[in-house]
Amino acid sequence: MRGLSAAVALAIAAPVAAQQPAVHVVPRPARVVTGDGHFVLGPATALVARGGRDAARAAERLREVVLETTGRTLGDSTGGAGGTVLLHLDPAFPDPTREGYRLVVAPRGITLTARSGAGLFYGAETLRQLLGPDGAAPVVTIDDAPRFRWRGMHLDVGRHFRDVDFVKRYIDLLARYKLNTFHWHLTEDQGWRLEIRKYPRLTEVGACRAETVVAREFDPYRGDGVPHCGFYTQDEVREVVRYAAERHVTVVPEIEMPGHSQAALAAYPELGCGPGPYSVWTMWGVSEHIYCPSDRTFAFLQDVLGEVIELFPSKFIHIGGDEAPKTAWKRSELAQQVMRRERLTNEEELQSWFIHRIDRFLTSKGRRLVGWDEILEGGLAPGATVMSWRGIDGGIAAARAGHDVVMTPTSHLYFDYYQGDPRHEPLAGGGMVTLERVYGYEPVPSSLTRAQARHILGAQGNVWSEYMRDAAHVEYMAVPRMLALAEVVWSPRAARDWDGFVSRLPAQFTLLDRLGVNYRVPGVMGLEEDRLLLADTAQVALRAAVAHATIRYTLDGSDPTSASPAYSSPLSLPVDDSGVVVSARAFLPGGRASPPRSARFTRAQLRPADLVDGAHLGRGLSLRYVEGQARRVADLDSLRVRRDTVSARVTVPPFARAEQWGARFACYVLVPSDGVSSFRLTSDDGSRLWIGDRLVVDGDGPHTAEERAGAIALRAGWHAIRVDYFQAGGGRALSLRVLAADGTELPARDMFRH
């Protein structure tokens, strides 16, 4: 409850007040007490502002809110026959966050009190959600304040450029849901998007790539032949920054270094360590071309950051620092000379030295450096703030070392990842981050002490745009996951409730429909994966993720339409060895529908055990470790064997090198009872799992960290299992979970023998 006003903290200490159906606010306020009746705003309602210029600005904003929401125009302070709306900016209001507010809707008027203009703004946004189209607001008292200081959304415009109008629209969405930080990712290998007057070639050359790859970066290359260009002038940037500030959103710019810099090297090749030639990259992934750690490079970067600082008043300046391969530095005599001169033992320490130097420059200008968690490698710069994206470990390490942290792990907050079944979703960056998974995220790791937890500034959702070619796709990927994040970072942890959240979504969809936002309708629950059955009948229970939606289904594998049968009660379906496919979609009252979800229900035969007694087997799995380049699991057969050993579980071996290697695990797995066992294999890159000669989980091919699931009907006893894995480059991850027939997870120390 740190940072909340005394009144709000007191309210949260008691049970959270029951929220009546009329109050569908997102993010959920800290305290809501409803009453009887309504207050109706109209032309005869006086709008009064007390507290100076900020209060007057908030009043004008509220006037716009009422007009947009209801079509009604409020009167001025000389009226009042239709009641009064009072905005009071009170410096004595007990709110250390300076973003909280108290909103009181009474039968004869509305009072909104806050300590700052931001608090009045957020109170007005809450009132927007309370207002009906007739101008009526329910009688209610709301005490509210944010849980975290950093409530962020990111947008990558390097891969696919978005114009100023869309950027403003995006900022509007953030502000409506009380998100206060816009992380603008402005430079990339695939495009430099910011005008720098001292270096005009950055936009003359670096803002335009010849074409764009049309598939995943892991697949054979095929370009679209269409140039992709665009950048923001400095005047446009100033306009965006001003627009955001009016909505109490801070714009944090990101200028990538030392990696993700190929577009800059195309413009100024003398900044690179390699011989070139460089071009603006048309591929996705991680380029090996990075800035050389020369005095010329640092002069260039300081000039660039100097202009960035003039444009962006943000305290934080993001410098990237992620995914910087050291191949060019290892080959560069200049880089090696720097290492010898500075007594650095490896290239990771050279990157740390690079980041330290940039940190000193930003500190001298009164700014703070923020970077992705790779900046921890080799030693963290003293004033740096860490964005923890490769899981939460980087954030934990930084907080324990006394550094501020923004949590943004791929597991929960990468909004370029799939939201549902990839068979029915547009191409995405990989992984799976559902709406419920976002909502369930807790930004403060439980392993931190109370003092360490104070370094967690908040959390942020990331929207990387490799596969988002248009603005509508960006909105589809961001909304409503953005709303779930808003509740995570604003609402008290004790007030968060998944069922309550989804019950409030239909009212938000109505507001989003008015704005024309291309949000994704949450899908049907109950068809998450195919199911094997030992019976002749399948019982299929479905549930819509949001209230007031109608579920329509088919049984022939086709996509349901508005004319398909409506689901009303669990389905009882006969099944055989070929199975039956159930597909379903959720339709909102206005006609919008979720993507389809489908699952096959199949009658299965129990596979006999390979061994009944495993007493003679040794614990663990046999592991063959190989090295070399692989693009498919089958390539492991041709790679060089480096080690044969034993592993306690399916995981990345501690001795594995960073890139281009593989592993083959083999053993027997103990199945405690007859039934359908489930295997969940997570890998980055490819993997496959067999039981005997049957392929159960197929995660083959290069990809980011993804969990793939498979099931098989097994008799009790020991079954031969094999897991093959390869790491092609970039990230690496490998883990296996085994679930018994009753759904319980089996412990690795007991179930694997070889």
List pLDDT tens digits, range 335-349. Answer: 999 999 999 999 999
| Residue 479 vs residue 751, higher pLDDT | 479
C-beta of residue 240 within 8 angstroms of C-beta of residue 172? no
Report the pLDDT value the prediction gives residue 11, as an integer from 0 to 100: 40
- Asked whether the predicted pLDDT for residue 102 surpasses 70, the reply is yes
Separation of alpha carbons 746 and 524, rounded Å: 29
Q: Which of 314, 316, 1 is nearest to 148 (CA)?
A: 1
Contacts of 594 (CB under 8 A, 6+ apart): 520, 521, 522, 523, 524, 545, 549, 585, 586, 587
Q: Confidence class of residue 275 from pLDDT cuts 50, 70 and 90? A: confident
- Residue 527 reports pLDDT greater than 70: yes
- 78 pLDDT band, cuts 50/70/90, is low
- For residue 80, is it left (φ>0), alpha (ψ between -120 and 50) or beta? left
pLDDT of 8 above 90: no
Which CATH number describes the domain made up of 621-753? Answer: 2.60.120.1560
pLDDT at 309: 98
What's 651's DSSP letter?
B
Helix axes 498-515, 117-130, angle to 10 degrees: 90
Query: Given this model, what pLDDT does residue 729 score?
Result: 78
127, 281, 414, 468 from 519: Cα distances, Å: 22, 31, 16, 14
Position 324 scores a pLDDT of: 86
pLDDT of residue 579: 93
The residue-averaged pLDDT of 350-355 equals 94
Q: CATH number of the domain at 6-144, out of 3.20.20.70, 3.30.10.20, 3.40.630.30, 3.30.379.10? A: 3.30.379.10
| The domains spanning 150-186+216-255+294-321+366-515 and 621-753 adopt the same CATH topology | no
Q: Mean pLDDT over residues 435-443, rounded?
A: 96
pLDDT at 46: 92
Lowest mean pLDDT among 74-83, 120-129, 139-148, 638-647: 74-83
Q: In the predicted model, is pLDDT for residue 385 greater than 70?
A: yes
> Any idea which architecture 524-603 has in CATH?
Sandwich (2.60)
The predicted pLDDT at position 14 comes to: 35
Pairing of strands 694-699, 687-691: antiparallel
Q: Find out whether the peptide bond into 27 is cis, omega within 30 degrees of 0.
A: yes
How many angstroms separate the CA atoms of 236 and 317, rounded?
A: 19
The CATH number assigned to the domain with range 150-186+216-255+294-321+366-515 reads 3.20.20.80
pLDDT at 7: 41
75 — pLDDT class (breaks 50, 70, 90)? confident
User: 157-182: per-residue pLDDT in tens?
Assistant: 999 999 999 999 999 999 999 999 99
Which of 55-64, 482-491, 614-623 is modeled with the greatest confidence?
482-491
Tokens of 160: 């696919």
Band (pLDDT 50/70/90 cuts) for residue 22 is low
What are the residue ranges spanned by the domains of the chain?
6-144, 150-186+216-255+294-321+366-515, 524-603, 621-753
Residue 13's pLDDT is 35
Q: Which amino acid is at 221?
A: Y
Work out the number of other CB atoms within 10 angstroms of the CB of residue 524.
27
Q: What is the pLDDT of residue 16?
A: 42
Rounded average pLDDT over 625-654 = 94
- DSSP sequence for 669-687: EEE-SSEEEEEEEEEES-E
259-298 burial, b at 16+ Cβ within 10 Å, e below that, comes to bbbbbbbbbbbebbbbeeebebbbbbebbebbbbbbeebb
Percent of the chain with pLDDT strictly greater than 90: 81
Residue bearing tokens 């296996």: 736
Write the pLDDT tens digit of every residue in 188-202. Answer: 999 999 999 999 999
Between residues 659 and 462, the one the model is more confident about: 462
Range in 16-25, 189-198, 478-487, 639-648 the model is least confident about: 16-25
Going by DSSP bridges, is the β-strand pair 687-691/717-727 parallel, antiparallel, or unpaired? antiparallel
State yes or no: pLDDT of 732 exceeds 90.
no
Question: pTM to 2 decimals?
Answer: 0.91
Query: Which residues are registered as beta bridge partners of 106?
Result: 109
Tell me what pLDDT residue 79 has: 60
Q: Calculate mean pLDDT across residues 45-73.
A: 92
Round the average pLDDT of the chain to a whole number and report it. 92
- 48 and 84 in contact (C-beta within 8 Å)? yes
Q: What is the mean pLDDT of residues 618-645?
A: 94
Give the mean model confidence (pLDDT) for residues 35-55.
92
Percentage of the chain modeled with pLDDT above 70: 96
The pLDDT-based confidence of 264 (bands split at 50, 70, 90) is very high
Q: Is a pLDDT exceeding 50 seen at residue 5?
A: no
